[in-house]
Amino acid sequence: MPEKIQLNQKENAQRELILKGNIFFTILKLGFPIAIFQILNQLFRLFDTFMAAGISAEAASMVAYFSQMNLVVASLGSGLAIGTALKIGLAYGQGSYEQVRKMISSILAFVAIIGLTLAVVVIPSVTPFLRFIGAPTEFITAGRSFFIVEFLTTLLMFFNMIYIAIEKAQGNSKRILKLNLVSMVIKITLTTTAVYIFDAGITFLAASTMASQSFIFGIGIYNLTSKKSEVFRFSPKHIELSKKVLRPIIYASLPIIFSHMIFNLGKTLINTMLISYGPLVVGASGIGGLLAGASTMLQFGMKEAAVTIMTQNRGAGQIGRVFKTFKTLILTNSVAAVIVFVPLWLFADQITGIFAINDPEFHAILLPIYRYMIFNVWSFIFLTSANGLFLAFGYTKILSFLAASTLFLFRIPLLWIFEAFTTVGSEVAGLVMMYSNFLTIIPTLIFLFYVVRRIRKEAEIERGKTLLS
């Protein structure tokens, strides 16, 4: 039976580009705006830290610490977003437009229920929760309000993550970029006004982020209820909170949610271990991690674009084009690594100096940590490319295992070894991240070999069935 829902002209042109256009050009066209979007997101967090650094080094450490804490909660939304984009992209590539709309409506309703539940459970018990996870006592006393506002912002971002995933699934990377640019202007304007004119504290940093995320939330509501698109639109009558609709999304998302939560909890554990080197090392590690994360965002953007291309082509049965996209992704990520690493290394002193104004002690701690962490761009050439292929074919359990391996097989044991058996100082925070990422390449290669063989074998079986039918 033919689908009642049809693509508009713009959606049809975008779909044709992904399924038939030049792969290198398509990755750049879709990936570059996503990369800028991710870089701006990272700058949001760095901006908070920078503004806090203007207050004091202790405030900067507190902001970095609590930002890591809320990443644990954000893992739920980001995991569901990845599963949503995967299943929507697959159904869209197959031409199952009615199913796409049903999944969008159902997952948005599901996320609303989760957000409200978390708000009711966590907010009244913030202090016991922070004590349970081992937050320093001085951070709990001074940063409780900051954490609450950040947590509420994270819940707001649940919806925004799903909305952005829906935009990514259809390749609307320019719209994502425009939204984030306006959001960033709101954030910077509110924060600078409050801190420099009204001498506001760190809680207002989180409040300004909430305001900027509220803007994206409002635009998302508008676009998802607009009748401009019949496919990518929320409809109450299409909500179906059933196993048939939600189970595939949740099943694909759970390993990602688990790995994100474990990974971010593990980073909190690492921060707790780093306290033995001094409170400022925790803040330096957080800032270094944010800077290192920004350095890999160009590669991440290329990967996100490639996943969209690979997922839709998989749905359309074009496996050869999927592998061609994977090879092209490795090439683009290699070029991105060179472009990013050179200036970040050459201007390391100036970049880190921004976050240690009039504090040479903090700068001396941050600089070596940052230098080691930006080596991520070299390991991520392969890691992000392989993860993109795993994600496009729904091997989310592999992604979960690899994330856990990075943390529990490599990073935490390495940190313990450095602490127990060496005299290495605070730079250990950067060393363990660099070494653990390179070591993760080993299990990634093993899984890649297995996955490629399995995909090729399944494709041959499908071709055989087609010839017989």
Predicted pLDDT at 200: 64
Which of 66-70, 291-295, 431-435 has maximum average pLDDT?
431-435
Predicted pLDDT at 324: 94
Give the tens place of pLDDT for each residue, 293-311. Answer: 778 888 888 998 898 899 8
Predicted pLDDT at 1: 41
Q: Taking the model in full, what pTM does it have?
A: 0.77
Predicted pLDDT at 3: 46
pLDDT band (50, 70, 90) for residue 49: low
pLDDT of residue 36 exceeding 70, the answer is: yes
Give the tens place of pLDDT for each residue, 91-119. Answer: 888 778 888 888 888 888 888 888 888 78
Q: Residue by residue, what is the 3-state secondary structure of the chain?
A: CCCCCCCCHHHHHHHHHHHHCCHHHHHHHHHHHHHHHHHHHHHHHHHHHHHHHHHCHHHHHHHHHHHHHHHHHHHHHHHHHHHHHHHHHHHHHHCCHHHHHHHHHHHHHHHHHHHHHHHHHHHHHHHHHHHHCCCCHHHHHHHHHHHHHHHHHHHHHHHHHHHHHHHHHCCCHHHHHHHHHHHHHHHHHHHHHHHHHCCCCCHHHHHHHHHHHHHHHHHHHHHHHCCCCCCCCCCHHHCCCCHHHHHHHHHHHHHHHHHHHHHHHHHHHHHHHHHHHCHHHHHHHHHHHHHHHHHCHHHHHHHHHHHHHHHHHHHCCCHHHHHHHHHHHHHHHHHHHHHHHHHHHHCHHHHHHCCCCCCHHHHHHHHHHHHHHCCHHHHHHHHHHHHHHHHHCCCHHHHHHHHHHHHHHHHHHHHHHHHHHCCCCCCHHHHHHHHHHHHHHHHHHHHHHHHHHHHHHHHHHHHHHHHHC
Predicted pLDDT at 422: 85
Give the tens place of pLDDT for each residue, 334-374. Answer: 999 999 999 989 998 888 888 777 778 888 888 889 999 99
Give the tens place of pLDDT for each residue, 78-92. Answer: 778 888 888 888 888
pLDDT of residue 241 exceeding 90, the answer is: no
Give the tens place of pLDDT for each residue, 191-210. Answer: 778 666 666 666 777 788 88
pLDDT of residue 2 exceeding 50, the answer is: no
